[in-house]
Amino acid sequence: MKEYSKMRWIIWNEIRRYLAIPYIRLKFLMSGIHWGNNWRVFGSPIIQKYKGSKIRIGDELVMRSWISSNPVAPNHPVFLSTRSLGAEILIGNEFGITGGSIIAQKRVIIGDRVIVGGNCLIADTDFHPLDKAVRKESPNLTFGMPITIGDDVFIGTNSIILKGTQIGGGSIIGAGSIVSGVIPANVVAAGNPAVVIRNIE
């Protein structure tokens, strides 16, 4: 408590969080998302859940949408979106995220003890067709490729995780990276496109 007295913004954020819990829990309930054990949700996320899709989050969640809740300063609330019948966002225990978006046309699977830094984008779809003729006729015709993120992964702030990406357990993605394809377990990867820099022993 003595240490917290030197960081009064933490106390203020906790007071705001407790006051907001009833409204935020109701929002999750109305979206059909089970409220897990020991969730700490700082500010209301934006939830767009397609009918017949699934969003499941494990216990010990820390979700930060308020600007004041993290010095990284999220530029918008956490955004959870499923965009088709049967789409899934499946997240394990001890997950942390600050701002940013998780968007599933097909499936986004995130393991346990994963930390997603501020203002990241995880999307398993391109949102619009890449072919210009198809885009003109059917601008919303898109196809998803599932994303899988293993246990104990850390994704640095402002990174983008593209469709079809697989990140192995224990790996670290450097800040500002754009990730596509397969990143093996227990490595540091960074860049645009992200490449393996070194192994983690």
Instruction: Count CB atoms within 10 A of the CB of residue 107.
Output: 19
Instruction: Count CB atoms within 10 A of the CB of residue 5.
Output: 9
Give the residue among 64, 65, 62, 66 at the shortest CA–CA distance from 36: 62
β-pairing, 46-49 vs 172-173, is unpaired
Options 34, 56, 76, 128, the catalytic residue: 128
What number of CA atoms fall less than 13 Å from residue 73's CA on the CB side? 0
Known catalytic membership, residue 76: no
Residues recognised as catalytic: 128
